[in-house]
Amino acid sequence: NEEIHEALAPISWLSGRWVTEDGKGHYPTLKDFQYHEELEFICIGQPMFNYISTSRHPETKKPMHQERGFLRINPGTHDLAFLISHNFGLTSLEEGACDPEKKEIKLVTANVSRASFSKPPYVKNFKRELRLLQPDTLEVILYMETDNTPLSEHLTAIYKKV
C-alpha cells in the first residue's frame, strides 16, 4: 500500500481491499438475497480514499451494484464526506463523522440525484455505517428510504481484508 495521508489517521483502519465473507440484502419490498462484494479504499497521497465497490451475484458472478467515489476527510477533524456515483443512475453525497476509538463511521445522505430515465422507486436518502469488528474484519450496514418505503435496512455485510 502507498503511504496514507496523515489527515486520514482517524480512519486509516479502512485502507486496503475487502471481500465479503457474508453479504445479505433485504428490504420490505424485496425477497432476501445474498451478494458478493469487493471494496477498495486506496490513498494515493491526497487527504481522501479513492473508493471502488463492485458487487456480484454469489453464484453466477454477474456484476450487480457498483459504486465509484471518494471518501474525503476535513483535515484535522473527524468530519467526512463520501461522494459516490452508482452504476444504476444515481449520485450521492453522504456526510458524517468517524469515531477513532470505536473505529466506526456513520454517514447520512446530504444529497441524492438521479438520471431522468433511472428505474423507480426513487431513493430519497440512505444511511451507512462502517465498523471495524477485528483488525481484518469490517461490517457495513446500509439503510435506505424510497418514495414507497420508509427508512429500512437494505444491506448488511461482513468483509475480510485481503
The residues of the shown chain that bind ligand HEM, judged by CB under 6 A, are: 25, 27, 29-30, 33, 35, 55, 64-65, 121, 123, 126, 142, 144, 146, 148-149, 154-155
Complex with ligand HEM: residue 4 or 69, whichever CB lies closer: 69
Complex with ligand HEM: residue 55 or 98, whichever CB lies closer: 55
Complex with ligand HEM: residue 4 or 92, whichever CB lies closer: 92
Calpha distance 10→80 (Å, rounded): 11
- DSSP assigned state of 102: T
Q: Where are the beta strands (DSSP E) in the chain?
A: 16-27, 30-34, 36-42, 48-56, 63-73, 79-86, 90-99, 104-114, 123-134, 137-146, 152-161
